[in-house]
Amino acid sequence: MTSTTTTLSAPLELPCGATLPNRIAKAAMSEQLALRDGSPSDRLRRLYAVWARSGAGLLLTGNIMIDRDALTEPGNVILDDGRAMTAVRDWTSAATQAGASIWAQLSHPGKVAVSPFNRRPVAPSPVRSDVPGYSFRKPRELTARDIDDLIRKFARSAELAMAGGFDGVQVHGAHGYLLSQFLSPLSNRRTDSWGSDPVARQRLLLEVVAAVRDTVGADVPVGVKLNSKDFTHGGFENDESLAVAVALAEAGIDLLEISGGSYEEPAMTGVAVGQKERAHEAYFIDFARQVRHETSVPLLLTGGMRTPAHMEALVADDIVDVVGIGRPMTFVPDYPSRVLAGDRPRLPQNPPTVGYRPANGYLELAWHNDQLHRIAAGRAPQRRPGLRTLVRSMARISKAAIAQARIPR
Ligand SMILES: Cc1cc2nc3c(=O)[nH]c(=O)nc-3n(C[C@H](O)[C@H](O)[C@H](O)COP(=O)(O)O)c2cc1C
């Protein structure tokens, strides 16, 4: 018997039967390019027309909100009713014109819904998230009826995503958003069947996945983004995450993306992870190996990957099936094609840090988000970070926040 080595350019057949054209995914990056009513703008379509030819086989959208009363950021796309369908179809057609798949990342921020436009955030328990610089309000504890309603909203969003031409969906269960809050013993202090122990804390994520699967059918890809851990003391840790990964594999998901962190500890962009993980260019690789050992669910690893040889090795050594690339694609939109050609394009240095992790995490996001807006406007990314970038991002966010406070209901 001969064994063949899997390369980054090899297609991947998922458990549902759908195929990804290669092993590189564009990671989700909140674009904040929707119109006031949550429909995709022309600029969002133009951004994805650029990424359509990036070489990534899978394009994961940034946060798409399942409920217009719970936004993660101003300018998020909202899929909670059919009003945006024409623009959504234009967006997905632009994204898939060169053969890539596009999946909708379905998301709910829970208690980290940014005020002032989220007046009554909800959460598993009334525990406020205290991150200086973000004005998160004390959330209202969800009732059992609210939770049933939320599950229906995720399913409805998945249904709209299918109608809008997405090839699959990814349920956002990471980064300290609602589903991740349910998983965390720090945020979820409930004593009922949605939170009394680790199995109960998994329940909402699993029920959302089951409802989404029922809606989209057996042959459409359903993925989940999960934290390896939250990086907060007493929070969601590796052992519980491994149990969730096993449960998700048993639930029949098609792709598990591994990430980590939250607003408090933005490990997803490498801010809170160790030197060793940063040096290895794969922040969550140790956990990926553990999941690989325990399950056969296809794995997508995101966070820190830059060098073609490293990425090739991750796939060739069967540690993961797909590698995710985020920030490089804001400066070099065809980074995946370059990786497939064995190139490592030079990237600008990181933005300046201010010595405080949540603020550093915010700067990192703002700087990269600014590049997305430049590409969407047909301009070249700006390779030198400056104070102006930050000021521009803040101004844009404030403007969008004010506009979205008057979001049409
Ligand atoms: C501007 C920006 C926006 C992001 N928005 C999202 C998001 O909407 N959903 C998500 O799951 N991750 C989001 N992330 C995290 C990325 O998906 C990814 O996990 C992270 O950037 C690490 O990958 P990288 O080192 O290749 O950039 C965002 C990252 C950046 C830089």
Whether 63 is in the pocket of ligand 1, judged by its Cβ within 6 Å, is: yes
- For the Cβ of 373 lying below 6 angstroms from any atom of ligand 1, the answer is no
CA of 1 to the centre of ligand 1 (A): 41
Q: Is residue 1 part of a domain?
A: no
CATH number at residue 41: 3.20.20.70
187 C-alpha to ligand 1 centroid (Å) = 22
- Quote the pLDDT of residue 401: 57
Q: Residue 218 domain-assigned?
A: yes
Q: pTM value?
A: 0.95
C-beta of 105 in contact with ligand 1 (< 6 A): yes
Please give the number of the atom of ligand 1 that sits closest to the Cα of 174. 11
**Domain for residue 8, yes or no?**
no
Q: Quote the number of domains for the chain.
A: 1
Residue 280 within any structural domain of the chain: yes
Which atom in ligand 1 lies closest to the alpha carbon of residue 28?
17
Identify whether 5 is part of a domain. Answer: no
**Model confidence pLDDT, tens digit, residues 286-322:** 999 999 999 999 999 999 999 999 999 999 999 999 9
Contact 169, 92 (CB under 8 A): no
Sign, CA torsion 17/254/282/285: negative
Domain assignment present for 255? yes
Give me the pLDDT at residue 117, please.
67
CA of 143 to the centre of ligand 1 (A): 31
Q: Ligand 1 centroid vs 31 CA: distance in angstroms?
A: 10
The answer to the question of residue 262 being in a domain is: yes
Q: Are 64 and 78 in contact (CB under 8 A)?
A: yes
Cβ–Cβ < 8 Å for 277, 287: no
Give me the helices (H) in 97-132, please.
none
Per residue in 127-140, pLDDT (tens digit) is 988 776 677 889 99
Query: Which candidate, 229, 314, 226, places its Cα nearest to that of 267?
Result: 229
Question: For residue 178, what are the domain limits?
Answer: 19-405
The distance between the two most distant Cα atoms of the chain, rounded to a whole number of Å, is 64
Q: Is residue 6 part of a domain?
A: no
- Residues of the chain with confidence (pLDDT) below 70: 1-3, 116-117, 132-133, 352, 354-359, 385-390, 392-409
The DSSP line for 377-405 is: TT-----S--HHHHHHHHHHHHHHHHHHH
